[in-house]
Amino acid sequence: MTKTLNELKKQISPKVLKKADAKTKKMLAELPLNELRQARELSQEQLAEMLHIKQASVSKLERRTDMYISTLRNFIRAMGGDLEINAIFPEGVIKITQFHELKKGRGRVSK
């Protein structure tokens, strides 16, 4: 006999459900660039067109572990987001603001 998801959930303890929900939220809050792009329903080709680069360059960017902040910002903006950089200390989180705007004459100026 086939059971519905709701029927199965009734058989699982609330503690286990809560733990699974927290794990799911954490997984969705932390994504590599390629999975973020896919979640935004964009192909590498579409993103490359928006960034005025080749599809192969998007592929390389998605695999990089180190890049300029401006490159990452442009990548995120092309997907419809905005980049924030935070420093996390035991006392709390501090938003780093010096990267919001590039100086004129040095690359793109952010909006």
* pTM, to two decimals: 0.65
Residue 80 in any domain: the answer is yes
1 domain-assigned = no
Secondary structure of the chain in the HEC alphabet? CCCCHHHHHHCCCHHHHHHHHHHHHHHHHCCCHHHHHHHCCCCHHHHHHHHCCCHHHHHHHHHCCCCCHHHHHHHHHHCCCCCCEEEEECCEEEEECCCCCCCCCCCCCCC
Specify if 20 maps to a domain: yes
Which range (1-5, 21-25, 59-63, 104-108) has the least confidence?
Answer: 104-108
- For residue 102, being part of any structural domain is answered with no
pLDDT at 107 over 60: no
Determine the pLDDT at residue 99.
76
pLDDT at 21 over 60: yes
Tens of pLDDT, residues 43-98: 999 999 999 999 999 999 999 999 999 999 999 999 999 999 999 999 999 999 88
pLDDT surpassing 50 at residue 105: no
CATH code (residue 32): 1.10.260.40
Domain count, the chain: 1
Residues of the domain holding 92:
7-96
